């Protein structure tokens, strides 16, 4: 507060004038003019002192007088509560805030801001940055392990026994059994032409001879045949292989009776096998074993790491630059934002839905802010000392309080003149 303001200077002037007039009144006791001036200055001085006392009593103790003075510091709690109530219920009441909010088209404001402030680039950059930060936190090994478990769990749930029956039935319905039989014969021919098959036949013959050597007569004959080089296991194996290959080639002839007989037998055996419990159990065991041996974690982890690298922007790209929007994820984000803005502009239904959502969101924020404003006002004012609180209030009404005090002197002088005039007339 200013130490001396206009009201103080006016009151001092009136006091000096009062002393001068009082001195003149003593010297000229019968002067009506001096009597009237004394009456007016006396009333002005009393009015000014009274208003000075009243205004000063709001902030401190005038002349040390403590009875019903220093009102603002003494009633600071009530004052703070009143200020909070005024701010919340008058300036920022829920009704006023919501009424004002209803007059605003939030979607139009959003679109205008996007167009005028490069909002699209800002949104795109923020989303890309968020996605990239999330990708950097990915643990490829853990995700790959989880995916491997999911894949194995899904494969384990596949009913292979039912699929095998359905596949066989589909082959029959579409007359694919002949084609499958020919495929098996072709594969068998390839197998018989290999040197490995001949070696296996030779090994089998040799093991058979060893097993039969327990018979003394057979052992003597086999020994004699080997010593005289009558029997050569490799030659026998080659002959057997050739005969088997010739047998398979004969089966390729569709008119071969043996082929027709064998085909019918295989077909009947398959029909019986597919409904046999042992076959179903074997399929399940085979499925479980294959899945347990299946290892996908390393490949999945490598794939995830490559995808993450692919989605990253150029390392030297700055936010908003052309390079910042050249990665696949960046292009996807910018395309989706463009598409969303176009829909928001052209689709009235979507526009209304977004408007309702934004209105609800902003309304909740505004209501939260309304309560928060009261908390802020309360906390800030509590932190103020009595002197700071006085200064805060006085600075807002300084001119008004000054004029109240000045008006007290002016009105006092006018009333004094009026009373003196009435007294003179009467």
Q: What is the 3-state secondary structure (H, E, C) of 243-290?
A: HHHHHHHHHCCCCCHHHHHHHHHHHHHHHHHCCCHHHHHHHHHHHHHH
Determine which of 10-24, 26-40, 216-230, 270-284 has the lowest per-residue pLDDT on average: 216-230
Please say whether the beta carbons of 301 and 144 come within 8 A. yes
Q: How far apart are CA 188 and CA 132, in angstroms?
A: 55
Q: What is the mean pLDDT of residues 93-110?
A: 72
> What pLDDT shows up at residue 324?
47
Calculate the alpha carbon distances from 158 to 151, 184, 274 in Å.
11, 26, 16
Residue 207 has pLDDT above 80, yes or no: no
Q: What is the pLDDT of residues 171-203, one digit of tens each?
A: 767 667 777 778 888 888 888 788 888 788 777
Residue 322 has pLDDT above 70, yes or no: no
CA atoms within 13 A on the CB side of 226: 12
93 falls in which pLDDT band (50, 70, 90)? Answer: low
Higher pLDDT, residue 114 or 222: 114
Q: What is the mean pLDDT of residues 298-319?
A: 71
Q: How far apart are CA 293 and CA 306, in angstroms?
A: 25
Helix and strand numbers, DSSP H then E, in the chain: 19, 0
> What pLDDT shows up at residue 131?
79
Q: What is the mean pLDDT of residues 337-359?
A: 83
Q: How far apart are CA 400 and CA 314, in angstroms?
A: 64
User: The tokens of 58 are what?
Assistant: 């709001």
Q: What is the mean pLDDT of residues 150-174?
A: 78
User: The tokens of 92 are what?
Assistant: 């920022």
Residue 210 has pLDDT above 80, yes or no: no
100-109, 110-119, 160-169, 292-301: which is most confident:
292-301
Residue 340 has pLDDT above 80, yes or no: yes
Please say whether the beta carbons of 7 and 388 come within 8 A. no
CB atoms under 10 Å from CB of 181, counted, come to 18
Q: What is the pLDDT of residues 241-273, one digit of tens each?
A: 888 888 888 878 878 888 778 877 877 777 776
> What pLDDT shows up at residue 320?
46
Kindly report the average pLDDT of the chain as a whole number.
76
CB atoms under 10 Å from CB of 107, counted, come to 20
Q: How far apart are CA 89 and CA 91, in angstroms?
A: 6
Residue 47 has pLDDT above 70, yes or no: yes
∠ CA 268-273-277 to the nearest 5 degrees? 150
User: The tokens of 271 are what?
Assistant: 């029909």
Higher pLDDT, residue 150 or 237: 150
> What pLDDT shows up at residue 92?
66
Please say whether the beta carbons of 72 and 58 come within 8 A. yes
Indicate whether this model's pTM tops 0.85. Answer: no
Q: How far apart are CA 365 and CA 370, in angstroms?
A: 8
Sign of the CA dihedral 44, 49, 50, 55? Answer: positive
Q: For the chain, what percent of residues have pLDDT higher than 90?
A: 0
Q: What is the mean pLDDT of residues 270-292?
A: 78
Nearest residue to 312 via CA among 153, 131, 143 = 131
Please say whether the beta carbons of 241 and 197 come within 8 A. yes
Residue 342 has pLDDT above 60, yes or no: yes
323 falls in which pLDDT band (50, 70, 90)? Answer: very low
Q: What is the mean pLDDT of residues 289-316?
A: 77
Q: What is the mean pLDDT of residues 152-164?
A: 81
Residue 222 has pLDDT above 70, yes or no: no
């Amino acid at each position: 507060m200013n130490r001396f303001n206009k009201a103080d200077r006016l009151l001092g002037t009136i006091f000096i004038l009062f002393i001068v007039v009082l001195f003149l009144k003593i010297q000229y006791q019968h002067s009506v003019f001096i009597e009237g001036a004394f009456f007016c200055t006396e009333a002005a001085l009393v009015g000014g002192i009274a208003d000075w006392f009243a205004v000063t009593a709001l902030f401190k103790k005038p002349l040390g007088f403590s009875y019903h003075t220093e009102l603002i510091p003494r009633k600071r709690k009530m004052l703070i509560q009143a200020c909070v109530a005024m701010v919340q219920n008058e300036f920022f009441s829920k009704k006023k805030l919501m009424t004002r909010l209803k007059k605003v088209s939030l979607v139009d404001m959003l679109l205008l801001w996007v167009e005028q402030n490069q909002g699209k680039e800002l949104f795109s950059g923020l989303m890309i940055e968020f996605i990239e930060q999330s990708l950097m936190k990915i643990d490829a090994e853990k995700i790959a392990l989880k995916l491997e478990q999911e894949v194995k769990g899904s494969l384990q749930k596949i009913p292979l026994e039912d699929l095998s029956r359905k596949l066989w039935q589909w082959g029959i319905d579409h007359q694919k059994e002949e084609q499958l039989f020919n495929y098996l014969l072709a594969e068998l021919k390839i197998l018989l032409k290999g040197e490995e098959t001949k070696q296996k036949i030779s090994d089998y013959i040799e093991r058979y001879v060893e097993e039969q050597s327990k018979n003394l007569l057979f052992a003597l004959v086999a020994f004699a045949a080997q010593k005289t080089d009558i029997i050569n296991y490799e030659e026998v194996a080659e002959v057997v292989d050739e005969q088997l290959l010739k047998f398979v080639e004969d089966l390729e002839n569709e008119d071969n009776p043996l082929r027709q007989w064998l085909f019918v037998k295989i077909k009947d055996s398959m029909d019986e096998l597919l409904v046999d419990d042992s076959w179903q159990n074997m399929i399940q065991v085979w499925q479980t074993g294959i899945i347990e041996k299946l290892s996908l974690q390393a490949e999945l982890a490598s794939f995830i790491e490559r995808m993450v690298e692919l989605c990253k922007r150029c390392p030297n790209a700055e936010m908003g630059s052309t390079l910042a929007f050249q990665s696949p994820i960046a292009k996807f984000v910018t395309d989706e934002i463009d598409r969303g803005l176009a829909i928001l502009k052209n689709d009235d239904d979507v526009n209304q839905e977004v408007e309702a959502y934004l209105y609800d969101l902003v309304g909740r924020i505004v209501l939260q802010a309304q309560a928060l404003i009261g908390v802020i006002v309360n906390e800030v004012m509590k932190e103020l000392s009595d002197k700071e609180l006085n200064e805060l209030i006085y600075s807002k009404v300084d001119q008004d309080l000054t004029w109240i005090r000045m008006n007290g002197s002016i009105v006092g002088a006018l009333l004094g003149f009026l009373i003196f005039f009435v007294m003179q007339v009467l």
